[in-house]
Amino acid sequence: MLRITSNERANWRALADEFGFKFHTMYGEAYWDESAYYQFTLKQIEQDLEDPTEEIHQMCLEVVDRVVSDEQLLQRFAIPEPMWEGIAQSWQRRDPSLYSRLDFCYQGSGPAKLLENNADTPTSVYETAFWQWLWLADKAKVGELRRDVDQFNSLQEKLIARFRELGRVTGDFSKTLYFSCVKDSEEDRGTVQYLQDCAEQTGLSCEFVYIEDIGHGEGGCLTDLNDYVIEWLFKLYPWEFMFTEAYAPLLLSSPTQFLEPLWKAVLSNKALLVMLWQLFPDHPNLLPAYFDDDPRIKSLQNYVRKPIFSREGCNIELYRHSKPVVQAPGPYGEEGFIVQDFQPLPKFGSAYTLVGSWLVDDQPAGIGIREDASLITQDLSRFLPHVIQG
Amino acid sequence: MKRTRFIDLAALRKKPAAEIATEPAGLNKPTKLSMAVAGALGLGGCSSDEAMIYTNIYECKRENPSRAEMCRYAYEAAQEEAIFEAPRYGKRSDCEYDFGEGECRDVVARNGIGFDYIPLVAAFMLPRGAFDYDRDDGFELDIDYYRGDRYRSKPLFTSRSRRSPAYGNWVTGSGNSIGRTYSRTAVAKEGVFKSAPVQKKTLSRGGFGSTVKAKSSWGGSSKSSWGGGRSWGG
């Protein structure tokens, strides 16, 4: 696995403008970074990332199966009791899923280690599925990369195929798929627009509605701004937020199918890491993980303390020899913490590298690489492209 | 190949295509990104709803002589789509009552046990422009192209039975009439498959989203400014 410096395309910003990629620079700092790219061999991709991604996903589904029928575990996972039955039913029906992203610590040799599963609201889908694909096509076109160079990224193709399949099984294309995110985020708005663009390519009828604009319709249903019942909703908004908000009961009463489905709430929760270690101890792709109050923590020299619910690296603390050394600020932590053995992210050059590995339904679909100056990957990390060669 | 085979750039473009200035002197003259990169259709979004209808591969090839393989793919894709889209009957006699004697075939029942009966595909329909593309990109096109994206080949049916409303008409799997069978073009109405949406009186709004407000108001360092563009995903 190599990090190779590269020439930026002279007009990539104009291209970003053309394609509505607005969040390539955030708060004045670069997010999309094509001054370098990563290079993997096919063997590294297939053996060390693709296969473990598929396997870990199946392991996660086993965790869901255990948790949904166990009240003690549901409590440990800090899932509010009113939602338990709905989540169990969602799982029993095997409500279909669109996508998820596993984050790995990987440096080109040795097994990739799972850091977490973003199973409900994974971000960076646009950069991964489309933008880095376009980068490769451009580079190949001008001869800066050989035409036989590849990329582990069939994400857009799989997303479209999945939307088509979902359209068939959800009223045979007769239902409107609503896309939703909060008003406050340009990044989320862009991501959701991209997913809508993908869905519309299958002939699905799609609409957009902001999360805050969703209404409570007569009979306990969710409605859009024109009072149409929302029968099918993709939300880039976390389940654990919705569970504690005023309309939570409507999640159970409304005749609405959700992407991601309710049962994903079990996976988008760092308690998952504890359960994985419990069910599959010593698995090569897992790191030891325990709940905050577990005495076995004493056996860990270096560990990371993470809130059960947190995003973008917030409120994460790194401990070396049981002493805190790095602390990321943030507003999370009230539901409790887990502790995971510390595996330092590899450094290629001056930044730490994280591999995000995507699945569409249960199929590995590609990777996206992020770098951060800090050991804790946060929202202002950079996204870099990659290739497969050799 | 481990990457997406084809991306329709026109569908993702939000503004008119930019000229590419990165081509070094001496190579091919600069081409529009949309044509050069992914063999995109260069249609700037398919605004026309006109469709072409072919009753077999030969008709398609006759009209599009350089696209013989594409015709075969489109035909095969429609045959596959029919399994999902065609109306299903538990008995052959019921299917033939609607579509005519000898006009039905058996398929495996949805629950995997036994058989259902569906009408034979009478024609396949493609949007005009489905065959317009530039193949200089080296990306392979195959049957998935016609199963996929916006150029999905649609199976059409018709009835030999005079009592059927489909007699003399092309109909889709959901029973929507596309036009008379003596015609080989059609205008596919937008939303032809959508059922009428239901409205309910809205009693209140804004019951989701409060958590974001609460977390946005948390202070934090100047680097991580909450709200104002940041993602709520993970």
What ipTM was assigned to the predicted interfaces of this complex? 0.89
Cα atoms in the 13 Å half-sphere on the side-chain side of A286: 20
**Beta carbons of A32 and A16 less than 8 angstroms apart:** yes
Q: How far, in Å, CA of B96 to CA of B91, rounded?
A: 9
Q: Which of A122, A156, A236 is closest, CB to CB, to B7?
A: A156
Residue numbers in A near B33 (CB within 8 A): 15, 138
| pLDDT tens digits, B182-215 | 877 766 554 433 456 788 999 999 999 998 877 7
| pLDDT tens digits, B154-166 | 899 999 988 888 8
Strand, helix or coil for residue A234: strand
Q: Which of A153, A184, A205 is closest, CB to CB, to B4?
A: A153
Q: Which residue has the higher pLDDT, A27 or A352?
A: A352
Give chain B's residues under pLDDT 70: 17-49, 129-130, 132-152, 186-196, 216-230
Residue numbers in B near A205 (CB within 8 A): 191, 194
Question: A361 Cβ partners below 8 Å, 6+ apart?
Answer: A96, A97, A98, A99, A162
- Lowest model confidence (mean pLDDT) among A2-6, A283-287, B56-60: B56-60
| pLDDT tens digits, A172-198 | 788 899 999 999 888 899 999 999 999
Strand, helix or coil for residue A165: helix
Of all helices (H) and strands (E), which one includes residue A339?
A: strand A337-341
Pinpoint the alpha helices (H) of chain B: 9-12, 33-38, 57-63, 68-85, 92-99, 143-147, 210-216
Interface touch B209/A212, C-beta < 8 Å: yes
Strands A363-372 and A351-360: antiparallel
B149 touching chain A per CB within 8 A: yes
B17 touching chain A per CB within 8 A: yes
Interface touch B230/A331, C-beta < 8 Å: no
B202 touching chain A per CB within 8 A: yes
B28 touching chain A per CB within 8 A: no
Interface touch B229/A211, C-beta < 8 Å: no
Interface touch A229/B207, C-beta < 8 Å: no
**Beta carbons of A229 and B200 less than 8 angstroms apart:** yes
**Is the pTM for the entire model greater than 0.80?**
no
Question: A60 Cβ partners below 8 Å, 6+ apart?
Answer: A117, A119, A267, A272, A276
Q: How far, in Å, CA of A97 to CA of A264, rounded?
A: 8
Strand, helix or coil for residue B146: helix
Q: How far, in Å, CA of A129 to CA of A341, rounded?
A: 31
Averaged pLDDT, A132-152 = 92
Interface touch B232/A118, C-beta < 8 Å: no
